[in-house]
Amino acid sequence: METHELMMTALRAIAVYIVMLVVVRVSGKRAIGNFTAFDLLVALMLGEVVDEIIYGDVTFAQGMVTIGVVAVAHYANSWLSFWDHGLDKYLEGAPTILVKDGKMQPKGMRKERMNEKDVMAELRINNVSDIREVKLAIMENDGEVSVLLHDWASPLRRGDIDGQERDRMTRATAAQDPSESEKSDSDHLLE
């Protein structure tokens, strides 16, 4: 290869890098976070176009037009999903229920091509060891599994305990005579 060709490849790579950086920033965090099917498609398409531009298989102008068209299509898809006219189900997909009330859902598992071992692995990743604790386990559009536990299975938080103690004190105070309440409060202070 001639030095001139190598320099042109380097310059094209820098130009494409700058353009792609602008496209990713304009596309938003969603484009670089967990991929939906459309996001993955866009990434693959842009990757292929960038490769063609860098190695000079297409002209720089053709590559920029292609990147612009893909970016506009991604932006339009995002807006169509945002407006939620029902198109997002077709463009982005819909969540699938894998576990409901502690029972695996074969229909959802079949749709996502998951067996029992796969579902249990996802539950373990979400710190669930007993499927009976699961109210819902859902395969989200981005491929992540969200797990909602039954109330009885959720760990207590400080606010839960503080709220229970506050409720107990309120009931105890209401049951006592106000003068008794003052007396018992002062007795507690003296103890």
pLDDT digits (tens, 9 = 90+) for 28-80: 544 555 666 667 667 777 888 888 888 888 888 888 888 888 888 778 777 77
| DSSP-based three-state secondary structure for 86 | coil
- Dihedral of CA atoms 120, 126, 127, 132 in degrees, nearest 10, equals -50
Closest by alpha carbon to 27, among 78, 66, 64?
78
- Whether residue 176 has pLDDT greater than 70: no
Nearest partner of 137 among 127, 62, 166, judged by Cα: 127
Is this structure's pTM higher than 0.85?
A: no
Report residue 103's pLDDT band, with 50, 70 and 90 as the boundaries. very high
Report the pLDDT averaged over residues 90-104.
86
Cα 132 versus chain centre, distance: 24
Which 3 state secondary structure label does DSSP give 20? helix
